[in-house]
A and B are shown apart, each in its own frame.
Chain A
Amino acid sequence: DADVTQTPRNRITKTGKRIMLECSQTKGHDRMYWYRQDPGLGLRLIYYSFDVKDINKGEISDGYSVSRQAQAKFSLSLESAIPNQTALYFCATGQGLNEQFFGPGTRLTVL
């Protein structure tokens, strides 16, 4: 079984809709992250959380919000989706010397 899971794997939505991407982990790690990947830009950090009561903005948090429901769950919400939020979204967990472990990704298309 995968250590970091993301649901859904693919999502097509319309401009203005609210959507939620979910991430669960069985690794027991305290740190969790949300990234977006765009061609030619690599991965950019949206939000991160070092424990259930700790939420921090990354470099591109505008238009996004997160919720850390438990140590194992970290959700990303787009309150009102727009086309330039079309991207591949990754959840990751971390522990120890900065190494991170990635989920399989969610491909989001906003029409």
Chain B
Amino acid sequence: AQSVTQLDSQVPVFEEAPVELRCNYSSSVSVYLFWYVQYPNQGLQLLLKYLSGSTLVKGINGFEAEFNKSQTSFHLRKPSVHISDTAEYFCAVSEPGYNKLIFGAGTRLAVHP
């Protein structure tokens, strides 16, 4: 069975600092991987996705993630965060054709001035 582990429940960081949000998954087959962001009092919005091909994926708002098959990881990075990046971030995994997402518990990113 698939599962997703987000290794940090909360990540505090100062504005303009780099940040990495960690995500590991378990699956016995090939996977699709996603990062979603939830701003306060809003629904989830897709940040980026890995389906196949290049292991470095670029998304919206300057975020990127790298798929590492040997480490079964899909960590999210941003070189310089802004106050507006304060939100909860969810990693999710799916098997091709399975049409269901398995979510991690979420990481709350708090960007301080």
Give the residues in chain A near B100, CB-CB below 8 Å: 33, 45, 48, 58, 98
| A90-B43, A97-B96, A104-B42 as given contacts; A42 in contact with B101, CB under 8 Å | no
Find the B residue at minimum CB distance from A56: B100
Give the residues in chain A near B4, CB-CB below 8 Å: 42
Contact: A104 with B43, CB < 8 Å?
A: yes
User: Does chain B have a CB within 8 A of A64?
Assistant: no
Contact: B103 with A43, CB < 8 Å?
A: yes
Q: What DSSP secondary structure best describes chain A's contact surface?
A: strand
Give the residues in chain B near A44, CB-CB below 8 Å: 103
Contact: A98 with B44, CB < 8 Å?
A: no
Residue with the highest number of chain B CB atoms closer than 10 Å, among A94, A98, A100, A102: A98
Give the Cβ gap from B70 to chain A, nearest Cβ, in Å. Answer: 23
User: Does chain B have a CB within 8 A of A99?
Assistant: yes
Contact: B103 with A99, CB < 8 Å?
A: no
Q: How far is the CA of A73 from the CA of B61 in the complex (A)?
A: 32
Those 5 A-B pairs whose CB atoms lie nearest each other, nearest first: A102-B43, A42-B103, A98-B94, A102-B44, A42-B105
B22-65 contacts to A, CB under 8 A, are 32, 34, 36, 42-46, 49, 51
User: Does chain A have a CB within 8 A of B74?
Assistant: no
